[in-house]
């Protein structure tokens, strides 16, 4: 346990010290503040526009930061050969992977909460009150990011950051289009197409389960099942990805 905590703390420090991260974060905060301008030119829908753009901005910039940091997290350890030093000590592959995950998750969570604080302040000072419904969306966003962090860690074990970024973006797109792709496969009429659609649907992460942004913008509180089920789904899927990352790093010639 001490090894996991030590690796997590070191990863957290590396995350928050990244200079490029501050550039992305500054742009994100500027975007959140600029939603006031977009809202002011709308026809009586200023608060709705601010909420819509604000939550979308938090999601997009959170994903960008996660992919940017996660895809190089372990790769740079391998390139700098510091991984050899770590594994020369009594540190197992599972401890290393879990520590990296917890450290990066802590750093990303802190960044997301900072953006959320700015978003809530913008909504509040523009007459929208405290947007407590947005917190439901943020909770599910954090669990979606957990899946993505585990996914980028898995990719960073066996491929370069550029390739891992491309793979992550592809899965991001497919993950939010799975239901549509599955229905298209079922309507195609071919057995092979249906079979492939089923494999893709159940194998890849269904990220649309975590999307409550449209509902909360329109003031609709989610049902308990819309919160609980995606959380359980995220925990299991994240655990599977971390297990695969553990297997992948064990098979490297270290």
Count of other CB atoms within 10 angstroms of residue 121: 12
pTM above 0.75, yes or no: yes
Q: What confidence tens digit (pLDDT) does each residue in 56-106 have?
A: 999 999 999 999 888 888 888 777 777 777 777 777 888 889 999 999 999
Q: What confidence tens digit (pLDDT) does each residue in 126-168 have?
A: 887 888 899 999 999 999 999 999 999 999 888 888 998 999 9
Q: DSSP for 89-128, please give it.
A: SS--HHHHHHHHHHHHHHHHHHHHHHHHHHHHHHHIIIII
């Amino acid at each position: 346990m001490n090894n996991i905590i030590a690796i997590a703390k070191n990863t957290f420090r590396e995350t928050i010290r990244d200079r490029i991260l501050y550039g992305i974060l500054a742009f994100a905060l500027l975007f959140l503040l600029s939603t006031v301008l977009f809202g002011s030119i709308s026809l009586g829908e200023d608060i709705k526009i601010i909420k819509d753009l604000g939550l979308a901005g938090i999601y997009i910039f959170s994903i960008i930061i996660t992919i940017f940091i996660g895809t190089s997290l372990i790769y740079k350890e391998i390139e700098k050969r510091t991984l050899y030093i770590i594994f020369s000590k009594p540190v197992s592959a599972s401890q290393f992977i879990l520590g990296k995950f917890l450290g990066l998750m802590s750093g990303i969570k802190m960044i997301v909460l900072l953006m959320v604080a700015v978003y809530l302040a913008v909504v509040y000072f523009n007459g929208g009150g405290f947007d407590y419904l947005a917190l439901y969306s943020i909770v599910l966003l954090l669990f979606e990011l957990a899946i993505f962090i585990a996914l980028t860690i898995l990719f960073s074990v066996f491929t370069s950051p550029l390739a891992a970024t491309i793979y992550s973006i592809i899965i991001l797109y497919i993950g939010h289009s799975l239901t549509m792709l599955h229905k298209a496969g079922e309507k195609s009429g071919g057995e092979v197409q249906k079979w492939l659609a089923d494999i893709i649907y159940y194998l890849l992460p269904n990220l649309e389960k975590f999307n409550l942004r449209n509902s909360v913008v329109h003031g609709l509180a989610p049902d308990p099942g819309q919160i609980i089920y995606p959380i359980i789904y995220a925990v299991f899927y994240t655990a599977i990805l971390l297990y695969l990352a553990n297997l992948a790093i064990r098979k490297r010639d270290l």
